[in-house]
């Protein structure tokens, strides 16, 4: 679960970045538009499945600022019973600036996501299928191991979390998972890190 702040820069980043001065880079981009979306893999997947008539059970850790996202979930019929609140931190947040060339600069604050390992899968009942998608590193490792131990089939989707893992971790995920889903770039990174091929 994450808040996504999406911003538009009505110019080109290249016009404001001096390539020979990257060692002293200090830039600011005046944006012309900004919107805040309810995002994160668990939220997006649960919303999509709910629209398809197959309600999901999102499992995540959220922060003290989660109230507006919680209201949105309630309005859209998405259960919150497997969300754990971490009161002394904020919900994960992405800040994305896109220029006129569709180049993007993204910053990401994991916040409460860092504590996902403190929300074990045994808090969920009657799980017959799961997805392990980008989350806190320790949480992804723990949840995959717990699902495998309980013989619950799951899809491993490393997504933007791929850089957190190296060969041994990724090989373990691949062995535990029933399915693995990656995009083209993630596939190349997975092959490079594991030597895996099809």
Token representation of residue 22: 């990257």
Whether residue 95 is found in the same domain as residue 141: no
**Is 98 exposed, middle or buried (CB count within 10 Å of its CB: 0-12, 13-18, 19+)?**
middle
Q: Is the pLDDT of residue 17 over 90?
A: yes
Same-domain check for residues 153 and 57: no
147 and 101 in a common domain: no
Say if 83 falls within a structural domain. Answer: no
pLDDT for the residue numbered 142: 96
Residues 62 and 132 in one domain: no
- Both 173 and 102 in one domain: the answer is no
Q: Is 25 exposed, middle or buried (0-12, 13-18, 19+ CB in 10 A)?
A: exposed
133 and 101: one domain?
A: no
Specify whether 56 is located in the same domain as 98. yes
Do 109 and 197 lie in one domain? The reply is no
Same structural domain for residues 12 and 51?
Answer: yes
> What's the domain count of the chain?
2
- β-pairing verdict for 60-62 and 83-85: parallel
**DSSP label at residue 99:** -
pTM (whole model) above 0.75 = yes
- pLDDT, tens only, 131-181: 999 999 999 999 999 999 999 999 999 998 999 999 999 999 999 999 999
| Average pLDDT, integer, range 108-127 | 91
Supply the CATH number for residue 103's domain: 3.40.1190.30
Nearest residue to 65 (alpha-carbon basis) of 90, 44, 94: 90
Could you tell me if 6 and 24 lie in one domain?
Answer: yes
Which domain covers residue 34, as residue numbers? Answer: 1-77+88-113
> What does R_g of the chain's alpha carbons equal in angstroms?
19
Asked if 62 and 83 count as a contact pair (C-beta separation under 8 A), the reply is yes
How does pLDDT run across 66-104, given as a tens digit for each residue? 999 999 999 999 999 999 999 999 999 999 999 999 999
């Amino acid at each position: 679960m994450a808040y996504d702040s999406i911003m538009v820069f009505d110019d080109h980043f290249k016009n404001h970045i001096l390539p020979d001065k990257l060692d002293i880079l200090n830039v600011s981009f005046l944006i012309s538009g900004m919107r805040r979306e309810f995002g994160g893999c668990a939220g997006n997947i649960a919303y999509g499945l709910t629209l398809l008539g197959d309600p999901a059970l999102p499992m995540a850790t959220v922060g003290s600022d989660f109230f507006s996202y919680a209201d949105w979930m309630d309005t859209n019929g998405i259960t919150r019973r497997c969300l754990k609140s971490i009161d002394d931190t904020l919900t994960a947040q992405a800040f994305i600036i896109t220029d006129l060339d569709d180049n993007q600069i993204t910053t990401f604050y994991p916040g409460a996501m860092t504590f996902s390992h403190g929300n074990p899968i045994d808090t969920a009942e009657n799980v017959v299928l799961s997805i392990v998608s980008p989350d806190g590193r320790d949480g992804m490792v723990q949840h995959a191991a717990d699902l495998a131990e309980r013989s619950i089939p799951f899809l491993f989707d490393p997504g933007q979390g791929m850089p957190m893992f190296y060969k041994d971790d990724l090989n373990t995920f691949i062995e535990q998972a029933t399915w693995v889903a990656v995009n083209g770039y993630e596939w190349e990174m997975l092959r490079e890190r594991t030597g895996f091929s099809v």
